[in-house]
Amino acid sequence: MAVKSIISRPVYGTLSPQPGKHHLFIADAEGALAIAEMARRAPPGFFDDAEIVFIPGPDGKHVAALEALKPEQFHQAPSFASLLPRLRQTLANAHMGLRLYLAGTEGLIGQAMQVALEAGIDHTSMQTEHRGSLARRMQCVHCKGITENVTTQPATCAHCGLLLLVRDHYSRRIAAFQGVCINAEDRSEVPPMEEIFR
Amino acid sequence: MGITFRKETFRDDFTFRNSPEHIRRFPFPFHEDAYMYAVNIEPHVVGPKGSVLENLIDVDEHYVAEMQDRALVLAEDPLRCQSLPHMTLAGWDLLELLMEQQALGYPEHFTLTRDGDRWRWINRPLGIDDTFTFGDTSTLPYGPMEYITRQSQGDFCILDQRDGNLWMDAGMVTTQADWSLDFDIGMNFFEWHAPVPLAHEKGIFVRALKFLTNIQQGKPARRLNWTMTINPRLDTSPENYHKWGPDRATVTPENVGDKVHLRVELQSFWRLPRSNGIVFPIRCYLIKMDELVTQPKWARRLHRVIRDLPEELATYKGLTRFRPTLVEWLSKLDDGSVTSSGFGPD
């Protein structure tokens, strides 16, 4: 789990069944386990009005466990990018009473939340549960490029190549942590790169 | 007679200077020989003639040069000016406020005439004479916030008030002390202040938010904040940190007086009448050490403040690399005598 940090760093909870007319679950990899555990606490018939959208991890696990919940709809996507058009339409057509549940890696939760925010859903109304990797999405404050799956501190910007301090300062709108040049004042200072976001 | 606007730059050859009268009116931010965060908010009322508070929106000799520098920043990076879709009305509120205040304080330079929604705005220093329909964005060359903040000194953040919080939902930010509007836009009061050390633990932001959400129309408030900048550079954005950061390594005992600048922000807070938003102008004043120490009281006091500043604050404000050189230089101007209380020079 993420350690206590600054206020802009997201805090995740534990999924719990919410009152609502329709339930949309978006999960990746081990996020499936959060849904399965929540299902044990859910009232009978809860998944009759649920849609689960799942991006399996590299091991391809947990698909059967989610299908076993017998949601009204189950959709498996190979990546978040491939999921985006469908997700945007689902949210655009959604009615009052839709509840959103996001589970899995920080990158998945953040990007799904970003799309939901754009659709006008308040972030405090979304259920979130972090499972799996702590790898970060990072936006370079200098060139604005996003680097996915950052595991080191500092990290190299995949776009402009600057060596960046990965801050805890987080933007829901951008769905990324902020990266700021770590040796801007003296480029000859190159701090060692450590793998800390796993 | 009006203001004589200086021709000067805030980049490259850095020709920015303060005239002797502007040194005397500099808003020195330390009323005692030490500094720690406090909720130092007070009513924003008109102050003494000749001070930066003579008018509630201050226009000074740097106006034209600052607006030229802003235009350069925006040409390089348009993301420094952003307004979320629900903030247009607040932009018109701000346009009205700034036109009214600038015309009121400086009638020789600015004139606003209104015939119902038909407004005419004359800005003589920048050579602007525009007639437009208030509330109709298509009658201006930019959105209302961008239009008027391209003609007003200081950064401007417009905060939406909802859910008992303030949300950074629009802004023109080109002279900032190392924070990114592009990254922080859409955040609430606690989130955009998240990186500030020590102040959360002291409950500063909880109390400040309570105060700000209760600001009433016609009763603005203000506070001072400060940091230090190497060279008189207005655009010390995180976006360009890799370009200006190396300046901090260029301070030597020989050039302290010319290179090191005290950077003071006069922040004010105004309730906007139509949108119920809050506008938060952050007006930046720069003064080089050579100019500041012409006032012996300020030299003594600044020496003590910088010398005794807690390490976390020095790091947050980015002073670490040049602090020892600066303190050594200032110490020669501190004879240890008592400084009078209050901000002003003796």
Q: What is the CATH number of the domain that holds A126?
A: 3.40.50.80
The answer for residues whose C-beta is within 8 angstroms of residue A7's C-beta and 6 or more apart is B190, B191, B193, B194, B200
pLDDT tens digit sequence for A89-103: 999 999 999 999 999
| Angle B16-B149-B265 from CA coordinates, rounded to 5° | 55
Indicate whether A78 and A27 sit together in one domain.
Answer: yes
Residue A69 lies in a domain: yes
Does A119 contact chain B (CB < 8 Å)?
A: no
| Residue A149 token pair | 């799956």
- State the pLDDT at residue A4: 56
Residue A163 lies in a domain: yes
Q: Please write down the HEC assignment for all residues of B18-74.
A: CCHHHHHCCCCCCCCCCCCCCCCCEECCCCCCCCCCCCCCCCCCCHHHHHHHHHHHH
| Residue B164 token pair | 């008992």
User: Which one of B160, B183, B231, B248 makes the best mutation probe of the A interface by having the most chain A beta carbons within 10 Å?
Assistant: B183
pLDDT (tens, 9 = 90+) of chain B, 346 residues, equals 699 999 999 999 999 999 999 999 999 999 999 888 776 889 999 999 999 999 999 999 999 999 999 999 999 999 999 999 999 999 999 999 999 999 999 999 999 999 999 999 999 999 999 999 999 999 999 999 999 999 999 999 999 999 999 999 999 999 987 789 999 999 999 999 988 877 777 788 899 899 999 999 999 999 999 999 999 999 999 999 999 999 999 999 999 999 999 999 999 999 999 999 999 999 999 999 999 999 999 999 999 999 999 998 899 899 999 999 999 999 999 999 998 888 888 7
Among residues B210, B213, B217, the alpha carbon closest in space to that of B162 is found at B213
DSSP string, B76-123: H-GGGEEE-GGGHHHHHHHHHHHHHHHHHH-TTTEEEEEETTEEEEEE
Q: How close A17 comes to chain B (CA, Å)?
A: 24
User: Which one of B242, B247, B312, B320 makes the best mutation probe of the A interface by having the most chain A beta carbons within 10 Å?
Assistant: B242
Q: How far apart are CA A88 and CA A111, in angstroms?
A: 12
Indicate whether A114 and A191 sit together in one domain.
Answer: no
- State the pLDDT at residue B200: 78
Residues B226 and B301 sit within 8 Å (Cβ to Cβ): no
Among residues B18, B105, B8, the alpha carbon closest in space to that of B59 is found at B105
A142–B240 C-beta distance less than 8 A: yes
Does A98 contact chain B (CB < 8 Å)?
A: no
A7–B193 C-beta distance less than 8 A: yes
Indicate whether A50 and A126 sit together in one domain.
Answer: yes
Residue A11 lies in a domain: no
Among residues A28, A172, A24, the alpha carbon closest in space to that of A90 is found at A24
Does A99 contact chain B (CB < 8 Å)?
A: no
Residues A79 and A111 sit within 8 Å (Cβ to Cβ): no
Indicate whether A110 and A180 sit together in one domain.
Answer: no
Q: Which H or E element spans position A55?
A: strand A50-55
Indicate whether A57 and A99 sit together in one domain.
Answer: yes
B246–A186 C-beta distance less than 8 A: yes
Indicate whether A27 and A108 sit together in one domain.
Answer: yes
Mean pLDDT of chain A: 94
Residue A94 lies in a domain: yes
Among residues A170, A196, A194, A167, the alpha carbon closest in space to that of A181 is found at A167
| Residue B1 token pair | 């007679």
Q: Mean pLDDT throughout A146-150? A: 96
Q: Mean pLDDT throughout A13-28? A: 96
Indicate whether A105 and A158 sit together in one domain.
Answer: no
- State the pLDDT at residue B198: 74
- State the pLDDT at residue B177: 73
Residue A7 lies in a domain: no
Does B165 contact chain A (CB < 8 Å)?
A: no
Q: List chain B residues with CB under 8 Å of A185.
A: 245-246, 248-249, 321
Q: Considering A98, A130, A162, which residue would you say is the last residue of a domain?
A: A130
Domain count, chain A: 2
Q: How far apart are CA B279 and CA B269, in angstroms?
A: 6
Reported pTM: 0.92
Residues B290 and B241 sit within 8 Å (Cβ to Cβ): no
pLDDT category at A1 given cuts 50, 70, 90 is: very low
Beta strands A146-150 and A73-76, pairing class: unpaired
- State the pLDDT at residue B1: 64
Q: Considering A81, A105, A130, which residue would you say is the last residue of a domain?
A: A130
Q: Which H or E element spans position A117?
A: helix A106-118
Indicate whether A57 and A112 sit together in one domain.
Answer: yes
Residue A9 lies in a domain: no
Residue A156 lies in a domain: yes
Q: How close A94 comes to chain B (CA, Å)?
A: 21
A139–B194 C-beta distance less than 8 A: no
Q: How close A113 comes to chain B (CA, Å)?
A: 14
Indicate whether A175 and A157 sit together in one domain.
Answer: yes
The answer for residues whose C-beta is within 8 angstroms of residue B223's C-beta and 6 or more apart is B39, B40, B41, B42, B267
Residue A14 lies in a domain: no
Indicate whether A187 and A94 sit together in one domain.
Answer: no
Indicate whether A38 and A124 sit together in one domain.
Answer: yes
How far from A99 is each of A35, A120, B8, CA to CA, in Å? 14, 13, 57
A144–B245 C-beta distance less than 8 A: no
User: Annotated active-site positions of B, please?
Assistant: 223
Q: How close B321 comes to chain A (CA, Å)?
A: 9
Q: Which residue of A has its CA nearest to B179?
A: A141
Q: How far apart are CA A16 and CA A42, in angstroms?
A: 8
- State the pLDDT at residue A2: 42
Q: How far apart are CA B237 and CA B234, in angstroms?
A: 9
Q: Which residue of A has its CA nearest to B192?
A: A8
Q: Mean pLDDT throughout A129-157? A: 96
Q: Considering A130, A165, A184, which residue would you say is the last residue of a domain?
A: A130
Percent of chain A at pLDDT exceeding 70: 98
Residues 306-345 of B with CB under 8 A from A: 321
Q: Which H or E element spans position A36?
A: helix A31-41
Indicate whether A36 and A82 sit together in one domain.
Answer: yes
Coil, helix or strand at residue B265: strand
pLDDT tens digit sequence for A97-127: 999 999 999 999 999 999 999 999 999 999 9
Q: Which domain holds residue A106?
A: 22-130
Q: List chain A residues with CB under 8 Å of B190.
A: 7-8
Coil, helix or strand at residue A107: helix
